Structures are given as C-alpha cells and as structure tokens.
Structure 1
C-alpha cells in the first residue's frame, strides 16, 4: 500500500512538472491591431489557419510569409508559393501578401528578414504566428531582433495544435519537440 501511495505521489508531481514544462514554452501576447501578421515557416497547416483567422478578424491587413527555400514534397515549387496560393484561395488579395527577401534557415534569420521588410515599409507592429512549443523562443528572438526599431512584436501560438499543456508529454513527438525546443532556447539565451 505504501508503494502505491508513493507511486501516486510521484505520478502527481510528474504530471505537474510536465504541464509546467509545456506551459513555459507556450507564450501568447494580448493582441491588438497590427500592421502585419507574420507566418513563420515550418510547422503544419495550423499556422496558416491561425493567420487567416486573425486576418479575417481584422487584426492586420497584411500577411507576411517567410521564405525558406523549402520545396513542397513531391512537387517542384516552393512551400511559400503553396502558402501564397492558399491565402489567395481564402480571399486574401495578392497585394496584402508579402514575402521576405531572403532565404532563411533559422528563426533568427526569419526575424532579421521580417525586420528589414517592416522597416522598409515603415510598419510599426506585427503579430508572429507559430506553433505553441516554438512560441517562447520565437517571441524572444523577435523581441531581441526588433529591440532597436520601435516596432511592436506580438506572438500568437496556433489555437488548434497537437502540442498542448495537458497532453504534449503523452506523445513521443511531444517529447522530441519539447526537448529540442528547450535546447534551442537555452542555446539562444546563452549566446546572446
């Protein structure tokens, strides 16, 4: 009986710890109108859906896609082209869709490319959309990158995503992404 009680206590505290670990990775800004919604590359369709939802709720009139040079699997065209077509098919006018000017291979490079685009267009605010597990690191990188610009950065993790505070630790891929994200976040913080 004592072993069962100890196991239950360990289980309870483990779940509490795992939820805290997931919760730390997920950050979200209180949103207000912005000049642009920035959809970071990678992830799944949930990033595009979140951006479309924000656009349709009039949080911004522009959507910025970051160029990574990634090609759609099985096809011979860029993922950014596919995302642009999806936005057009969902009613976003062509003139309201912008693409960063450089191929980015990291979140830091995406932030720099977005900074150049916003600065060149004299825009003063953006909402960055990314996956929940990526939101803390993305927000930290964008905040640091934009620190000297006066441009306001808000972060929005996708609403309908498999990575949630209560369930991420029940999936192998949850552990994979959480550990990888913690390592990348710690590495970024130590290097800045």
Structure 2
C-alpha cells in the first residue's frame, strides 16, 4: 500500500512539472511567488548569464518577507528578488520591476502581455517553480493567444525551495505546494 502511494504521489507531483524551452528570448520573467523567490531568481540569473535574455522582469505580489536585520524592516519579496538577482551578477540596469500589484498568475500574464506589446517584443521566457509550471504555462499561452509572441517556460529542479517529487507528501509545505496546485489548476481551468 505504501509503495502504491509513493508511486502515486511521485506521479502527481511530476504531472505538474512542464517545460517549454526557448533557446533565447527578448526577456525573462520571474513570476511572483513569495515563498520561492530565491530558486526562481537564481534560475533566471543563470539564463541571463548565458545570454539567453538581456533583460529580466520581476513581478510584484505585494507580499513581505521575514525580518531583515540589515534593513531593520520586512522587505517586500520583489525587493528580495531584485537583490538576489544582483547577488547573482545581474546588473540592476538589466532588471525591470513591474510595480503594479498582481494577485495571481492570471494577473501577471495580463501585465506581462501589456509590457511585451508596448515594447513590441516577440518572445518571453517565464521562470517559475516546478509545481507552478503547468498552470503558469497554460495561463500564459491563453493570455498571449493570437499575439504572435513565443512563450517559453523553465523551472529550477525540484528540491531547492520546493519539495522533491518523491517526498513532498512528508512535509506540510509539500501539501500546500503540490496538493494546493491541483486546487488552483481546477479553479483556473474553470474561471480563466
């Protein structure tokens, strides 16, 4: 019984993970996701360093992180993401913060499309967390339908800030990440 559950749990987690490779994009976009900003920004910085995008866009979910002794306040996750990109070697001039608040992936997709169309860009590389990837790619493709803009999507491997597919069910965070993503998928397919 345990073996069957382990296989099912692994499959449920792996089913959420998708990729849509682009060799190069006009911009890379780090989706908001407060709890996973480190893995997303580090991965985006690698693509920037490899010359696969010349600009990185960061969205703003308006959420604050934990206390920073250095800053004596709770910085916003978008601020932490920008700082993480800079630590990874991305110059501030190559980072664009879309300051308009977003409350979810659909809001982000609409905001990103507006930015891309205003600048007549032709390709976007979305950087998100593994278990968010299926919903993020579906949402981006739906919002960008008919625009002619190529959408790519990449994720860091699971196990950094997100639990591994084999053990997610052993952690509270795994349940909110993997099981919670299925709830969000149903909601998005139904209402967006």
Scaled by the length of structure 2, the TM-score of the pair is 0.86
Asked if the contact 1:51/1:129 (under 8 Å) is kept, the reply is: yes
Look up the match of 2:117: 119
Structure 1, unaligned stretches of length 5 or more? 1-9
Asked if the contact 1:39/1:64 (under 8 Å) is kept, the reply is: yes
Quick check: 32-41 or 92-101, which moved more? 92-101
Q: d(CA) in 2 for partners of 1:120 and 1:72?
A: 31
Asked if the contact 1:132/1:163 (under 8 Å) is kept, the reply is: no
Look up the match of 1:148: 146
Paired residues in the alignment total 183
Q: d(CA) in 1 for partners of 2:80 and 2:13?
A: 31
The Cα shift of 1:101 comes to 4.4
TM-superposition CA deviations, 1:40-93 (whole Å, max 9, x none): 112331111111111111111110000222234332543323322332343323
Q: Find 1:90's aligned residue among 71, 76, 88.
A: 88
Distance 1:173 1:85, change over 3 A: closer
TM-superposition CA deviations, 1:75-119 (whole Å, max 9, x none): 254332332233234332333111224110111111111111111
Look up the match of 1:78: 76
Distance 1:123 1:167, change over 3 A: same
Distance 1:59 1:105, change over 3 A: same
Asked if the contact 1:62/1:97 (under 8 Å) is kept, the reply is: yes
Scaled by the length of structure 1, the TM-score of the pair is 0.86
Distance 1:111 1:126, change over 3 A: same
